[in-house]
Copies of this chain bind each other. A is one copy, B any other.
Amino acid sequence: MPQPRPAEPGMTLDAVETPALLVDLDAFERNLDRMASLLQGKAARLRPHAKTHKSPPIAKEQIARGAVGACCQKVSEAEILVDGGIADVLISNEIVGATKIARVATLAKRARIGICVDDEGNARDLGRAAVAAGSTIDVLVEIEVGGRRCGVDPGLPAVALAINVAATPGLRFRGLQAYHGSAQHLRDHANRRRAIERAAGLTRETIEALAVAGLDCPVVAGGGTGSLMIDLELGVLNELQAGSYIFMDADYGAAGTTGLATGFENSLTVLSTVMSVPRAGVAICDAGLKAMSFESGPPRIDRPAGVRYAGPSDEHGNLEVPPGATLKLGEKLHLVPGHCDPAVNLYDWYVGHRGNRVARVWPVAARGASA
């Protein structure tokens, strides 16, 4: 059921079957190097998020530049990462259900596996499964620091759960997960900074409360591409989980996280073909709702200048073409997806290119790994 490879190395981009997921390898590698240089001399390590790329070879390139391992959100992603040779994987998420928990416990025999918990019963289930499998699972207690998603309250509730985890056979208490997801995309930088500072304050208080209870907290994990510079400055998190920095997207661009602020560049585009030029001022391309997600807005089109992606249908994109610009039937366009992670999850293949030439085609190995 995987789709055929849309390109082969050596081809020019004109010959790539569209829609296709393109990675500008030069920009991508500059992003990898830029992150390594940002972390140079800092106490924080990088555990980049593989939910963005779903690709063991990319995780390896990150580890080769100093990352301590990978993190991901799903058991199925963790299995694919371990199968692909990643020896240290954190599932930065809660995992519920007997079969999934058993898979985590089994996986922990083959690699160092961490997981997050925010519930005593869930921790007990994980511990039992680990004992049954003969493995040990690293555990981070997730605290709610403003993202209003998973996590126990910071302070005493977190300490109570941590004491519980530390006393559970099969589990090894390793520290805290303190991720503020919604703050990553705040347009107003002062608001974003305030949200991250508040999260860091709650995290620091929890670390102190753990110390009072006699619990070490070697790992303080969280952060994303949008909060990276603030997280580095505040110095509370010591394992950073940025993922999008390798690709970036139109939403991070609009939020001012691309370019000057971080040095990260957009490297990911969806290559699309103009399939109809029905009226003056309008062109239709072959990439719609099944070629990327739109909840963070439509894709950005940088060239030709002024062309705007007005709206999607399932398999089409409606493009506004301003006076003076033209789009010809068959012309290829680079669309910068609104949101990189869900876009990647729609494709079986990455098409890596340098300039106009395809250099490398490799699978999105964990595409669809949502279970």
Fill in one digit per residue for A312-352: 1 if any B CB lies within 8 Å of its CB, else 0: 11111010000000000110000000010110011110000
Interface residue A371 (Cβ < 8 Å from any Cβ of B): yes
Taking CB atoms, residues of chain B closer than 8 Å to A318 are 148-149
For residue A47, CB closer than 8 A to chain B, the reply is: no
Is the pair A314, B51 in contact by a Cβ cutoff of 8 Å?
Answer: yes
What are the interface flags for A91-118 relative to B under an 8 Å C-beta threshold, 1 for contact and 0 otherwise?
A: 0011111011000000000000000001
Nearest Cβ on chain B to A71's Cβ, whole angstroms = 12
- Kindly state the separation between the CA atoms of A371 and B48 in the bound complex, as whole angstroms: 31
- Which of the 9-residue segments A226-234, A271-279, A300-308 touches chain B? A271-279
Complex-state Cα separation, A331 to B9, whole angstroms: 47
CA distance in complex: A276, B339 (Å): 25
CB distance from A7 to the nearest CB of B (A): 11
Q: Which residue of B lies closest to A315 (CB)?
A: B73
- The answer on a CB contact under 8 Å between B276 and A94 is yes
Specify which of B3, B93, B96, B370 is in contact with A369 (CB 8 Å cutoff). Answer: B3
Which chain B residue lies CB-closest to A52? B314
In the complex, A17 has a CB within 8 A of chain B: yes
Interface stretch of the complex, out of A132-140, A255-263, A283-291 = A283-291
Chain B residues closer than 8 Å to A339, beta-carbon distance: 289
Assess the A96–B330 pair: CB atoms within 8 A. yes
Q: Is the CB of B2 within 8 A of A2?
A: yes
User: Which of B181, B346, B348, B371 is A17 in contact with, Cβ under 8 Å?
Assistant: B371
In the complex, whether A203 has a CB less than 8 A from a CB of chain B is: no
Please tell me which one of the listed residues B73, B121, B290 contacts residue A370 in the complex, with CB atoms under 8 A apart.
B290
Q: Does A367 contact B (CB under 8 A)?
A: yes
- The answer, yes or no, to whether A19 is at the interface (CB within 8 Å) is yes
Q: Does A1 contact B (CB under 8 A)?
A: yes
Name the one of B19, B93, B295, B365 contacting A315, with C-beta atoms under 8 angstroms. Answer: B93
Q: Which residues of A contact B (CB under 8 A)?
A: 1-4, 6, 15, 17-20, 51, 73-74, 76, 93-97, 99-100, 118-119, 121-122, 144, 148-152, 181, 273-279, 282, 284, 286-287, 289-291, 293-295, 312-316, 318, 329-330, 339, 341-342, 345-348, 363-365, 367-371
